[in-house]
Amino acid sequence: MRLVGVVCLAAVLVATVITSGVLRTSWQATMLLDDLKRLDKNVDPSSAFRVFRDKHLHQLAEEECRDDLCESEFLVNNWVLSILHLAPRTELRARITLFQQKPNTVEVEYASATFKQDSPIVHVQEDFCADRADIQCNHFALNPHGRNVRPSWNGIVEFGQLATDEQKEAAWGLNLDCLVAFHGCKDISLLSPKIWRATGPGIVSSCMRSSADSAAEASQPLSDSCSVR
């Protein structure tokens, strides 16, 4: 009976560690992503970054300044689950660059099954260029883009600070469940489902118009898979 009690206690402890790991990882990733999305809404972006940095100091992985350019990197990963082999290693890595103490770019790299060949990864970048007169700063570029395109493991979204709210919501609409999924996420349509949908083995279709679309691509309707939720 004593052995049974020890086994049950061990099982409870393991379950508690797993549950704690899932909840902690999901909460940290959600807070980090939500705060990143709000950086461009503040009238004083320099102050907003300082508040962001203080709030996420425990996630600060690296920081470097050279002349007028500074870069800060923040990291959330599922190390507890990956060590226990309950999910492949998955990372949400955010980089914020400041030029003359003002935000210049906000970047996120979201990768599942990290360190494996062709591990799916999505790169999202917002360019803080609203105060520039030489460009419109409303670009929204995707790669890959169009219907039934490759690769399905590497996706890039880059948009300007003056992109539409719909475009920004899609760009930042990462599927954070990939951090805690048992098998991870196998392609960019799972990492970023508001931007891409899988339309065949190793093939995706973009569900948002890209400023990189050719005239022929822009005239095509979006894939039927984009209407499936």
Predicted pLDDT at 6: 43
Q: What percent of the chain has pLDDT over 70?
A: 89
Work out the number of other CB atoms within 10 angstroms of the CB of residue 170: 21
Predicted pLDDT at 148: 95
**Vertex 30: Cα angle to 84 and 114 (nearest 5):** 45
Is 80 exceeded by the pLDDT of residue 228?
Answer: no
Grade residue 2 by pLDDT with cuts at 50, 70 and 90: low
Question: In terms of residues, how long is the chain?
Answer: 229
Predicted pLDDT at 7: 43
Predicted pLDDT at 204: 97
CA–CA dist 73, 36 (Å, integer): 12
Give the chain's domain count. 1
Grade residue 13 by pLDDT with cuts at 50, 70 and 90: very low
85 by Cβ neighbours in 10 Å (0-12 / 13-18 / 19+) ranks as exposed
Work out the number of other CB atoms within 10 angstroms of the CB of residue 203: 17
The pLDDT of 195-218, averaged and rounded, is: 93
Predicted pLDDT at 208: 96
25, 53, 63, 76, 221 from 73: Cα distances, Å: 17, 10, 6, 10, 38
Is 90 exceeded by the pLDDT of residue 10?
Answer: no
For residue 145, the enclosing domain spans 2-227
Grade residue 30 by pLDDT with cuts at 50, 70 and 90: very high
CA–CA dist 140, 209 (Å, integer): 8
For residue 103, give the nearest of 163, 161, 59, 58 by alpha carbon: 161
Predicted pLDDT at 193: 97
Antiparallel, parallel or unpaired: β 154-160 and 121-127: parallel
Mean pLDDT value across the chain: 89
Cβ atoms of 213 and 146 within 8 Å: the answer is yes
130 by Cβ neighbours in 10 Å (0-12 / 13-18 / 19+) ranks as middle
Grade residue 127 by pLDDT with cuts at 50, 70 and 90: very high
Grade residue 80 by pLDDT with cuts at 50, 70 and 90: confident
Say whether pTM exceeds 0.85: yes
Q: Which residues pair with 142 in a beta bridge?
A: 157
Grade residue 39 by pLDDT with cuts at 50, 70 and 90: very high
Strand order in the sheet with 91-99: 60-66, 69-77, 91-99, 102-111, 121-127, 154-160, 140-143
The pLDDT of 96-107, averaged and rounded, is: 94
Count CA within 13 A, CB hemisphere, residue 229.
2
Q: Identify the three-state secondary structure at position 96.
A: strand
